[in-house]
Every structure is written in structure tokens, then in C-alpha cells.
Structure 1
Amino acid sequence: MFNMNRYQLLCLAYVTFGSVLYGYDTGITTSVLAYESFLTYFKLNNDTIGAMNSTYYGACVIGNVVLWYLPDKIGRIRSIQFACVVNIVAIVLQAAAQNYAMFLVGRIFGGFCSGMIYTLCPIYASEISPPHIRGRVSMIYAMNVSVAFAITEWMGLGFFYIHGNANWRTLFAIQAVPTAVVAFGSFFMPSSPRWLILKERHDEARAVLQRLHGGPNHDDTFVESEFLQIQSQIKLDREESLGLLAILRRPSYRKRLLLILGFFLFQQLTGTAVLQVYQVIIYRICGFSPSFSLVLVGIWGTVICVAVATMSPWIDRIGRRQTLFLAYAFMIPGSLLVVIMWARFEAGGNKDLGLAKGIIFGMFFVIFGFGGTTNTFAACYPAEILPTSIRAVGVAAGYGIYMAFAVMLVQVTPLAIASISWKFFLIFVICDFIYVIIFYFFYPETKDKTLEEIEAIFGDKVAVTLEEASEKITHEQEHFEGESKPEPGRVEA
């Protein structure tokens, strides 16, 4: 029923590649914290290191807020192109920074771009993906984030041995490569068919759907059925005045938004972001050298890639809910191990190498669970449960919450580690237990359903199911063919 052709595969490959920008950009600052040249050039301390990271995530929030308006106004593709232009400015400012202020401005521009791209690509991907592989498309998206991060960290280890400021300047400059790929590829991408119908450009939308589903086994009935379903649902939303304000006045929409905000809030409260950003500091506390700390950072990135490859494919097999429970089955024990081993390590005078290894093993256990499924879930579930008219706003709001809490956490973490060490991470363990309970009772399964049919899960009206649309198209075709046949015994002139 759902046909895939080379063109659709290329489109999905492109849109999932967008996550590389975020993966590379966030990976850089993890590595450079081990570069003495970087630390001394900008005279960094716990406060300025926190500011370097918090301003980045703060700018991500601004990028998310822009998505409340821009993608629905000018389209998904034009918004991506705009973000790429901003990122070029960011790369120049960071790579050529002459002082801390100039570098900080570059990080702000870079965060703005990442906030847009990282949020926008899953929205676009959900709108061009067949229902039965949306989870796997999100898996590829998560894999690209992970691979980009891992490559950045191994590059960071290699550049560590370059003397002077060339090491960190080059590492920041290489961001231009994925940015150029995303910008260039955007000129060959179609507009989202759902956005085109939202803008009443129906002929263009039908042409995009035909191209996405065309090929040797091309099924006109499916193309027309999907077109009719999307068109009918958007028309129904308009008739019921379900615009942006519907999020506030419609209970089912408020529920969906709260599910999204809750997910992103508690994902940040797993503590994985601060573990990732400041893992070098933790390795140094454990007594490891800067060079070996970078080796561990590279392994960290590789572990995430392995986790995505082995765990994320289950999101379309066993469903979204079971996959996320699988993630917490790793994260909760891992977080407990970090806290327990760190407390014992500190009580013993920070000298027991075995306990230090226990801390690191717990950290890797946490990131295996988080990287293996939650990044995939984040790129899939929020976009699925929202209708087209508010999809960009709702997903952007979710990522905005995620980035906003990142601002707070990355700012306070260096000081918190110095002041209360393992007790800080006990907060994340408690939050993990709370969210598992919330998730169990309130989050429905969305596996294998079209974006329009997910409306019914939340008690909203589905204008027409895909099956009904298919039957209607088939009936109209049969009726047309019946009218076009000559009557028995009649000879056409």
C-alpha cells in the first residue's frame, strides 16, 4: 500500500541529515574543554564555561520560538535555508574569534541555527514519511546526530595534538561542511505536501505526493486517497477554527501539548545533556589525563551510535511506548550507579580507581539507554500527535522547553559539581522515576497510524480515514469508467 521510491528515499536521507549540524555543534564544546590552548586563550573558568554553553542553548530557544511562525509562513524548506545562512555567520565568528565576546556571539548565532534545524527537520520528515516507517526515519535522524557527535569527538582527540590555537579554530571551522551540504540539498527538495495544502496549493501538493509515491509499482489510488485525507482534515480544522489559539481552548490539543512539554522537560531532567557536555570535567575528577579523557569522550559518542543501531529499530516493531520503557530500563540503573559509585569514591578520598571506573560505566549505561531510543522518540512522537495547523508550533514549544532547561542546567552544573558533586545527580534519578509513572498512564501508542488518523486517539474527529478515502476514490473511478462505456448494442460513431 505504501510505496517507496528512490526519490522519497533521497528526500528522507536529506531531511535526516539535518541533525548532523546539531550533533557536530554540540560535540565541539565537549572536546575543546580539554584543550589547554582554548581554555587559556579565552581565560575560561567555571562561570564563563557555563555561560559559553548556556548562551548557546538560550539561542536554541530563540530559534525554536521563530519556528512558531516561520515554517507555516514561508515553508519548511525556506526556513531551513534561512537557518543555514545564519550558521555561516556563526561559524566565521567562532573560528576567527579574537576574544571571548566575539566567540560568544558566534555561539549565539550557532545556537539559533541549531534550534531551528534540529526542530524543523523532524516536522518535515513526519510530513513526507509513510506511516509504517516514521519511527525508522526518526531512528536515522537520531543516528545522524549520534554519528556526527562521535566523529566530532574522535576529531577532537586528533586535533588535541595540534599545537597552538589552530586545533580549536579548525574544529569550529569544519562546521561549514555539513552546513553547505544542507543548504545545497535544500534547492532540490519538494515543499511539504501538507504545508502546500495548508496554503491551498492543491495541484502542487498532488504533484509532490505523486512524485514521492511514484515508480514501477505506482498506486494512483493511494496517492489520491492520501491527498483526499490530508485535504479533508485540514478543511475540517479550518471549519472548526482550529488555528493556533485552539491549543489553549481545545482540551485534546492542550493534552497533546502537555504530553510534548512533559516529555522534553523530563528528557532534560535525565541529566544526560550535562553528562555529555561536562563529561571531561567528570573524567578529570576521576583522575584521568586530558588525552585519555578525550578517548573516553570518543567512546561515549561511539556507544550512542551502537545504541541507536541496536535499540531504535524497535520503535516501529514494538511501538513507541515499549521502546521508551526500554530506554528507562537502562537509564535508571545507570543513574543510580553513577550516584552510588561517586558517593563512595568521594568518601574514599577520590583515590579508588575501581570506583572511578564504576562512575564511568554508569554514565555509559545512561547514555546507551538515552541515545538508543529517546532521541528517536523525540524526532517521531511529538510531530505525530499534532495536527498540521499547529505541528510546527507544538514541536517547537517542546524543543524550546528542552533547550530552556538546558540553559539552566549547563550554567549551574560546573558550580554544582564543585559544590555538591554526586548529590546534584540524585535529582535526575528521582525525576526518572517520576516520569516513568507519568508516561505509563498518559501517553498513548501511535504506531502504524497516519498523521490524520492519530486525531481519533485523542478523541478528535477524523475527517476521513485512509481506507474510506481509498474506497471513495475507487468508487469514483468505477463510476467514471461505467459512464464512459457505450451502452449495449450501441455503436460509437
Structure 2
Amino acid sequence: MNRYNWLCVLYVTFGSVFYGYDSACTTSILGYPSFLEYMNLDATTIGAFGAAYYAGAVVGMASNWYLPNKYGRLNTIRIGCVLSLLGVAMQTGAPGFPLFCAGRTIGGMASGIVFVVCPAFASEIAPPAIRGRIGGLYSIFVNGSYCLTEWIGLGFYFIKTDVSWRLLLGCQLIPGVLMLAFSFVMPESPRYLVFAGRQDEALGILEKMHNSEQDSSFYLREYHQIKAQIELDREERLGMKAILMKPSYRKRFMLIFWYAIACMLSGVIVVQNYQVILYTKLGFSNVMSLVLTGVWGTIGTLSATISAFTFDLMGRRPTMFISYGLILVANLVVVITWAVFENGGSTNMSLAKGIIAAMFFIGLGYGGPANTFMATYPAEICPTSVRPTGVAVAYMTQHILIIILVQFTPQAIETISWKFFLIFVCSTAIFFVVFILFYPETRGKTLEEMEGVFGDKVAETLDEAGEHLNEIGKSKIEQVEKVAHPNTVQEKSANV
């Protein structure tokens, strides 16, 4: 993987900062008395503005069924960036709750657009051997931006005016401005370009990204494989309707759908969004609660960093066994210690610390492995024509459940407290078994070779593409290269 490819990957994975910072704002801002008083919030309205953000995100994610294949990956990112600037302006300058809530909705739409198109984009430009590491980098940016925002939120807390929360919200401008500016020097996805019939541009970008001294023919074989697979899909008339009509496509989307449900029923979103409420319920001050949210974010970032380096080495399945094993045990400990804490142990701070430690283990198990899997697996198991749709389904399903959870969690914590977490214990245990039985390993395969994992026809493997290029000889290779850089080929001919 050369330097240019790394720079492109860094740009695309930076898109997760949209979501990381925005969602962290929701957590930190609940610790600001000035914000709660200014907006006159209670349990219902707290749930409402959280749900508004995630509802907007679902709409933005749904747009990925259409925008990336119609206008390209880069233009889709630009649309999200422009919407983000509008949403942030409305939130930061809001004179009251209605405009603030509307701004959160528009900001959610922007985040949903960018957060979904970027994993699909990243998978399309990453070499197969390190695709999991790219998903890990996406997870690092999510967790790192969340972590940074929590510590920034702690610092802004000590500004005892409305400036504190307006400044925190205003910093959401930074990801949008940076992504929009650098989009004009970023190349389009080569797989999208082949899909759109722009083969000459695709070959030139593939050469620039994937040509190396170690394997100077890889980009040619990759280009030939991509082109052959897209042509085969078109011959078989595979597209959006194949999601319902073709059994292997249905299987892929069901795996995506159930994994998204399992993620949200792990309990992570409840802990992440409402940990300030949970900490204060356990007897901690506002300042200490904000410190603990920073620790939560730091643990998630550490987990994501470890996962980025182990995901391709260990494989998808072993990584997720560890992830959901940790989450299951941690949820069980939360239920037990919280029940004891409420039934006579509420003066025992050791129990409170035990609950918090278990919550941190949920973040450890989810923050790296589960986030990396979500950023990698849906994109890599879906063909080019439906790849943005597959990623959109994953994150839309997640966020529909998030809307429900963020709306009702404050009331659930007030009324049934620890019993609420029994849902997450049961659902995590069920999914652990489902994952063992039904989720195939995908490590190390190209996106086109993924067809074989699900029983579909692979137009050409990389080896077959190489053999094909050898058969057609040097003259044909020069013709293919001429498409990418005609001036170089002309110079070679002149020298001969």
C-alpha cells in the first residue's frame, strides 16, 4: 500500500469523525446545568432531542440507497458536508429548543450520509490484505473523536455561561469544513468509475493507488477482475432487485440486518449516551461524571487501536468471539451489582465502582471489535452495485433502534433501573450463538472474490486475471496501460 493510497484512506476514514463528535456532544451536554436550564429539559425532552438527531441520521443513511451510485461517492460526501454546516449553525445559534432540535435533525442527516458512504468508499480503495485494518482505522476515528469531545466537554464545563455548550456544538463545524475542502483533491472510487462506465479514469486511479515495486501488475489484475465482475453482474441483471430475488443476496442482507440489531441490543448505546445520568444516579458529581465519560471514550479508543492491528491477523470470527464474550459478561455483572446496590448496598461505593467497571468493559468489547466489524463486514460482503445500500441498511437498522432506546432509556432507568439491562444480557447471548452458526470468515479475499463465499459465480480471481493478461500478451497490456497514461506509452514507442 503506497503513500497516496494511505492518504486517500485517511481522508475517507476521517468521515467517521462526523458521527464520533456529534454523538459525544449528546453525552457531554447533558452534564451542563446552563444547557439544561436554558432549554428547560426533562426526561422526555432529553430523549426527544437525542431521538431527533438519530432520526435525521436514518434519513441521511437511507439516501445512500440512491446518491452514491447516482452521483458518485465524492459528491455524496460533499452533500453531507454542506448539510452539516447548516445543521451546526442552527444548533449553535438556537434561541430555544425547537430550532435546536431542528438543527440536530439536519446535523443527523449530514452525519448519516457521510458515515455510511465512507465505509463503502474505504472498502473499494483498500487492498484486500489490510481491508480489516482500514475498518479498524474507521473505528479509531469514531472512538478517538468521541474521546476527544468528552475531554473537551469537560474543559468547556467550567465556562459558566451559555458559551460553554454553544462552543461545544460549534466545533462540529470542523469535520464538515475539512471534509468538504479536501474532497476536491480526492479521487473518485475506481469501482464506482467502472460501474459508471468510466474505465480509463478507474485504471489511472488504481495504478496510482495500488501500483508498487513489490507487485507492479496487481493494479492491472485488479482492474481486469473488477471490470469482469461488474460486467457479469450486468449480464445477470443483478442490481437492487437482487436483494429480494437472489437467495445469496438475501442471506448477505440478513447477516447485515441481524448484526446491526445485535449491536444496539448489546447495551452500548444506553451506556454511551446516558452514562452521565447513570453516574449521577450512582452518587457521582457532575464533574466526576464528565471525567468518567472521558475515561469511557479513552478505553474505546484503546480498544479500537488494538482491533485495527489484530482484525486482519486474527480474522473476523475470532475477533467477534472475544468482543461479544466481553460484552455478555460485562452486562451480566452490571445487572448483578446494580441489583445489589439498590437492594441495601447504595452506601457501598465499591458496588458503584463495580458497576462502572462493568460498563467500561462493555465499551472495551464494543468500541474496537464491534465497530471495526460494522465498518468492514457489510461493505465487503456486498457487490459493487448494492454496496452503499448494504452499508446503509446496517447503519439505518442500528439507528432506528437507537431512536427507540434514546427516547425511552431515561424513563426506563427511572422506573425499572437494573432490570432494563436484562434485555441486553439475553440478546447478546442469543447473538453469540447466531454468529457462531451463520457468519462466514472473509479475511484476505478481494471484494470480487467474496461472491464465492456466498455461492455465487466469481467472474475471475486475481490469479485468473493474471493468467488472462499473460495469455493476451504484452501488446494488450500496453493497450490497457495506454488508457491510463497514453503519454508514457507514446514515449516508450518513440524510444524504441
TM-score range for the pair, normalised by the shorter chain length? over 0.9
In 2: Cα distance, 1:6 partner to 1:332 partner = 40
Match of 1:210 in 2: 207
**Aligned counterparts of 1:459 and 1:71: Cα–Cα separation in 2:** 27
**1:383 alignment counterpart:** 379
1:443 to 439, 442, 449: 439
Q: Distance in 2 between matches of 1:329 and 1:311?
A: 15
RMSD: 1.2
Aligned equivalents of 2:422, 2:11: Cα separation in 1: 40
| SS in structure 2 of the partner of residue 439 of structure 1 | helix
Write out per-residue CA displacement over residues 411-458 of structure 1, whole angstroms, 9 at most, x where no aligned residue: 000000001000001100100000001000100000000000010010
User: What is the letter of the counterpart of residue 254 of structure 1?
Assistant: R
Between the aligned partners of 1:170 and 1:201, the Cα distance in structure 2 is 44
1:17 aligns with 2:14: yes
Is 1:89 equivalent to 2:70 in the alignment? no
Deviation at 1:178, TM superposition (A): 1.7
User: In structure 2, what is the equivalent of residue 253 of structure 1?
Assistant: 249
Deviations 1:128-153 (A, max 9, x none): 00000000011111001111001100
Q: 1:480 to 1:104 in 2, by over 3 A?
A: closer
* Compared CA separation, residues 360 and 480, structure 1 to 2 (3 A): closer
Shift of 1:312: 3.6
Match of 1:309, SS state, is helix
Q: Kindly provide the amino acid, as one letter, of the partner of residue 195 in structure 1.
A: Y
Contact in 1 for aligned 2:211/2:217 (Cα 8 Å): no
Structure-to-structure mapping, 1:296-335, within 5 angstroms: 296-335=292-331
Q: Give yes or no for the alignment of 1:194 onto 2:197.
A: no
Counterpart for residue 46 of structure 1: 43
Give the structure 2 partner of residue 73 of structure 1: 70
Secondary structure class of the residue paired with 2:48: helix
2:382 aligned counterpart, secondary structure: coil
Instruction: Please give the alpha-carbon distance, in whole angstroms, between the structure 2 residues aligned to 1:112 and 1:288.
Output: 34
Q: Give yes or no for contact 1:221–1:474 (8 Å, CA) kept in 2.
A: no
Residues 399-438 of structure 1 correspond to what in structure 2 (within 5 A)? 399-438=395-434
Task: Quote the offset at 1:219 in angstroms.
Answer: 4.4
SS of the aligned residue for 1:361 comes to: helix
The Cα shift of 1:181 comes to 1.0
Paired residues of 1:87 and 1:179 also in contact (CA < 8 A): yes
State how far apart, in whole Å, the 2-side matches of 1:57 and 1:118 are: 12
Corresponding residue number in structure 2 for 1:57: 54
Pairing 1:358-377 to 2, within 5 Å after superposition: 358-377=354-373
Q: Does 1:226 align with 2:222?
A: yes
Identity %: 48
- Mapping of residues 103-252 of structure 1, within 5 Å: 103-214=100-211, 217=213, 219-252=215-248
Deviates more, 1:350-359 or 1:41-50: 350-359
Give 2:347's aligned residue: 351
2:471 aligns with 475
- Paired positions, count: 477
Cα pair 2:49 2:104 within 8 Å, conserved = yes
Residue deviations 1:449-471 (CA, integer Å, cap 9, x gap)? 00000100100000011100011
Q: How far apart, CA to CA, are the structure 2 residues paired with 1:184 and 1:106?
A: 22
- Conserved 8 A contact 1:384-1:454: yes
| Aligned residue type for 1:337 | V
1:8-62 CA-partner distances (Å, limit 9, x unpaired): 1100011111111110000011011010000000000000000010111111110
Looking at structure 2, the residues matched to 480 and 199 of structure 1 have their Cα atoms a distance apart, in angstroms, of 23
Name the aligned partner's letter for residue 199 of structure 1: A
Q: TM-score, normalised by structure 2?
A: 0.95
Aligned equivalents of 2:300, 2:406: Cα separation in 1: 20
Whether the aligned pair in 1 keeps the contact of 2:127 and 2:210 (CA below 8 Å) is: no
What SS does the aligned partner of 1:33 have?
A: helix
Instruction: Tell me which amino acid in the other structure corresponds to 1:259.
Output: L
Opposite residue 408 of structure 1, the aligned amino acid is I
Offset, 1:310: 2.2
After superposition, what is the alpha-carbon deviation per residue over 1:333-385, rounded to whole angstroms, capped at 9, x for unaligned?
11111111110001016322111111101000111010120000000011000
Which of 290, 298, 301 is the aligned partner of 1:294?
290
Query: Structure 1 pair 140/235, CA: closer, same or farther in 2 (3 Å)?
Result: same
Distance in 2, matches of 1:201 and 1:210, equals: 15
Residue type at the aligned position of 1:473: L
Secondary structure, counterpart of 2:443 in structure 1: coil
Give the whole-Å Cα distance in 2 for the aligned partners of 1:63 and 1:253.
23
Aligned position for 2:488? none
Q: Distance in 2 between matches of 1:264 and 1:480?
A: 45
Aligned residue for 2:494? none
User: Is the 1:221–1:473 Cα contact (8 Å) retained in structure 2?
Assistant: no
Q: Does structure 1 residue 458 correspond to structure 2 residue 458?
A: no
Q: One-letter code of the match for 2:417?
A: S
Distance 1:44 1:239, change over 3 A: same
Deviations 1:293-318 (A, max 9, x none): 00001111001111112234221011
Give 3-state SS (helix, strand or coil) of 2:283's partner. Answer: coil
Instruction: Normalising by structure 1, report the TM-score.
Output: 0.95
- Which digits, 9 at most, give the CA deviation of each residue in 1:468-493, with x for residues without a partner? 00111122225769xxxxxxxxxxxx
Q: Distance in 1 between matches of 2:11 and 2:176?
A: 12
Once the two structures are superposed, residues 46-87 of structure 1 have per-residue CA deviations (whole angstroms, 9 ceiling, x without a partner) of: 000000101111111101111000000000000000000000
* Structure 1 runs of 4+ with >3 Å offset: 478-481
Query: Per-residue displacement from partner, 1:165-214 (whole Å, max 9, x unpaired)?
Result: 00000000011112111111111111111111111111111111111123
CA contact (8 A) 2:328 2:429 kept: yes
For the residues of structure 1 that align with 2:67 and 2:368, how far apart are their CA atoms?
31
CA contact (8 A) 2:57 2:109 kept: yes
What is the aligned partner in structure 1 of residue 486 from structure 2? none
Distance 1:236 1:301 in 2: 45
